[in-house]
Structure 1
Amino acid sequence: MPPPPQSIAGKVSRFFSFAAARDRCFNRRFLAAGLRPVSIQLPDSARPVSISDSADPVTTVHMWVPARPPRNPLVLLHGFGASATWQWYPYLRPLIAAGFDPIVPDLVFFGNSSTRLPDRSDTFQAWSIKTALEAIGVTKFGLVGVSYGGFVGYRMAAMYPDAVERVTLVCAGVCLEEKDLAEGLFPVAAVDEAAALLVPRRPEEVRRLVRLTFVRPPIIMPSCFLWDYIKVMGSDHIQEKTELLHALISGRQISTLPKLRQKTLIIWGEQDKVFPMELAHRLKSM
């Protein structure tokens, strides 16, 4: 008798990583769309030094940028997932066809972006991306932020109103307050539980996250493939990502949230289980 399917998958996954193969495939799609990867070194809080390696970089921001100088730059900020390529690869060609020049950064502690500084705030994320954009000569741009990327995008728009010309926020619970967790608005009741959900370390945690974030989650999710995904895409900077969530949620209040001056488009999913529609209505009313 032939071995059961899961046994075959387990043997294959020892020699071939599906997650790594998908990652390479997404990178090729970015290259085929006319983008190239760059790493910008930000050694201090004063100014960027170069787009190449420096002797002792403090902060590195990796991003995909157009091969030619962008005429209509649109910065795409990913959510609390593995990296920017996984989030945005389906949308590159439609955006380019619509006349945009996508710029796709990895937020700090995602993909190939990192820092040795202790700051975990969305303010620091916003500064890092804005400073990296200045290093490649982009001073005015629109932006789209999904989920956590929407938090960072909102902060960028508030901090740099002359640079951020227009904003799109997609399922970004910017208007959440820490008390919302205890009051049952979310599927988690505390910041630590939110961190465990969004930074999965075991297959059962990945399954829970997928069921919450997909309207039609896969019926079968073999553990061998989930372990492969965690190893390839989700095992870096676990502690730092947990700290990002604590910095984002702890003590958060709507009363301290700045209002945006830019024209802003809000896009939400009616069946969103991570950030319920109530947060969309709060945001619209600001």
Structure 2
Amino acid sequence: MPPPPPSIAGKAACFLSFAAARDRCFSHRFLAAGLRPLAVHLPDAADPVTTVHMWVPASPPRNPLVLLHGFGASATWQWYPYLRPLIAAGFDPIVPDLVFFGNSCTRLPDRSDMFQAWSLKAALDAIGVKKFGLVGVSYGGFVGYKMAAMYPDAVEKVAMVCAGVCLEEKDLAEGLFPVAGVDEAAALLVPRRPDEVRRLVRLTFVRPPLIMPSCFLWDYIKVMGSDHIQEKTELLHALISGRQLSTLPKLKQKTLIVWGEQDKVFPMELAHRLKRHLEGNSRLVVIHNAGHAVNLEKPTEVCKSIIDFFQEPVAEDSNDEMV
């Protein structure tokens, strides 16, 4: 939905929060699709050191598919277009908030993707989900990749959407990305001012909104982006600092790689690098006229690729590239 003209936006900002209203709308869509919010306390409710919030099916899932969000808005904002098509195709979506996003948090100091993976696996175990497919977008793909490597008996198949898991810290200094270091990456992905939000949107969307009024952007930052800023910055430092391709494990599971052809955050080089790294155990789907936010720019195409992939028998071999 395009934002209203600045004159209308300025008047509306005095009476309501557009971001809060939209957030409620997306939550209602999850409820209407048959999902319910659930907070899982680890290790237990008496002393919840870590809390993982999830949207889960009202009935025990028979074909669970875990959907992991990236940086930016909460899980509901990133996955709402996928619920009904996935459910119609026979899947039971489970949509968690990663730690320090949405309503998930921890008192522990660990900021690694390994800790994120452990937290999610413990939460899934707590609700009785032992085997599942997994889809990760961007940062969620880093966590999903780690989960697949750590728990190969639980994660049956994996889809990575614009998830630059093959990046190395040296790539930043060598100019592969629009930032030159970890601090600049954190400033980009954890925006604190409207001009920073505009820069991020213009990098992630091929066709960003023409009008992005500051009042709307301040409202978005207040409602969706003002929590756990320091912790999210630490997550990025833990993810990128010292990262080397030589230490990245090769997944045993069949893996779908979906990429926006014009991704400026994680360029296509990383998609091809991941496909080479997995040595014939993957399929690459390139989505035209889409950037890093391909899951929001082209939800129908991305969702179809996900459904087709997860409906295939697990044992089927594939080393295709589709455009």
**Aligned counterpart, 1:176:** 167
Tell me the distance in 1 between the aligned counterparts of 2:274 and 2:113: 18
Give the paired residue count: 273
Aligned residue identity for 1:197: L
Q: Does 1:257 align with 2:248?
A: yes
Q: Deviations over 1:167-214 (max 9, x none)?
A: 000000000000000000000000000000000000000000000001
Aligned to 2:126: 135
Tell me the equivalent position of 1:107: 98
SS of 1:248's partner is helix
Alpha-carbon shift at residue 277 of structure 1 (Å): 0.3
Residue type of the alignment partner of 2:159:
T
Q: Does 1:208 align with 2:188?
A: no
Task: Provide TM-score, normalisation by structure 2.
Answer: 0.83
For residue 7 of structure 1, report the CA deviation from its aligned partner: 4.5
Alpha-carbon distance in 2 for matches of 1:95, 1:81: 23
Q: Which residue of structure 2 lines up, in the alignment, with residue 86 of structure 1?
A: 77
Output the CA distance in 2 between the equivalents of 1:38 and 1:130. Answer: 15
Secondary structure of the corresponding residue to residue 208 of structure 2: coil
Cross-structure match for 1:225: 216
How many Å apart are 1:8 and its aligned residue? Answer: 4.1
What residue is the counterpart of 1:192 in the other structure? 183
1:12 corresponds to: 12
Q: SS at the partner of 2:212?
A: coil
For 1:147, the equivalent position in structure 2 comes to: 138
Q: What whole-Å deviation, never above 9, does each CA across 1:49-86 have from its counterpart, x for those lacking one?
A: 3xxxx233110000000000100000000011121100
Q: State the AA in 1 paired with 2:31.
A: L
Identity of aligned residues (%): 88
Equivalences for 1:63-78 in 2 at 5 Å? 63-78=54-69
Matched, 1:21 2:17: no
Runs (5+) with no aligned partner, structure 1: 44-48
Indicate the residue corresponding to 2:276 in structure 1: 285
Q: How far 1:106 sits from its partner (Å)? A: 0.2
- Matched residues in 2 for 1:230 and 1:106: separation? 18
Query: Which secondary structure does the structure 2 equivalent of 1:145 belong to?
Result: strand
Aligned twin of 2:36 = 36
Of 227, 230, 238, which aligns to 1:236? 227
Pick the aligned partner of 1:271 from 243, 252, 262.
262
Is 1:56 the counterpart of 2:44? The answer is no
Deviation of residue 12 (structure 1)?
1.9
CA distance in 2, matches of 1:140, 1:55: 27
Shift of the alpha carbon at 1:6? 3.0
| Structure 1 SS opposite 2:14 | helix
State which of 242, 246, 252 in structure 1 corresponds to 2:237: 246
What is the distance in 2 between the residues matched to 1:56 and 1:69? Answer: 26
**Deviation digits for residues 216-271 of structure 1 (CA, Å, limit 9, x no counterpart):** 00011000000000000000000000000000000000000111000111111110
Q: In structure 2, what is the Cα distance between the partners aligned to 1:200 and 1:224?
A: 15
Could you tell me how far apart the structure 2 residues matched to 1:194 and 1:67 are?
Answer: 38
Gaps of 5+ in 2: 278-323
SS of 1:221's equivalent? Answer: coil
* Whole-Å separation in 2 of the counterparts to 1:245 and 1:188: 13
2-structure distance, mates of 1:169, 1:103:
16
Rounded to whole Å, the distance in 1 between the matches of 2:145 and 2:200 is 24
Is 2:145 the partner of 1:160? no
Find the counterpart in structure 2 of residue 96 from structure 1. Answer: 87
Partner Cα separation in structure 1 for residue 54 and residue 219 of structure 2 = 24
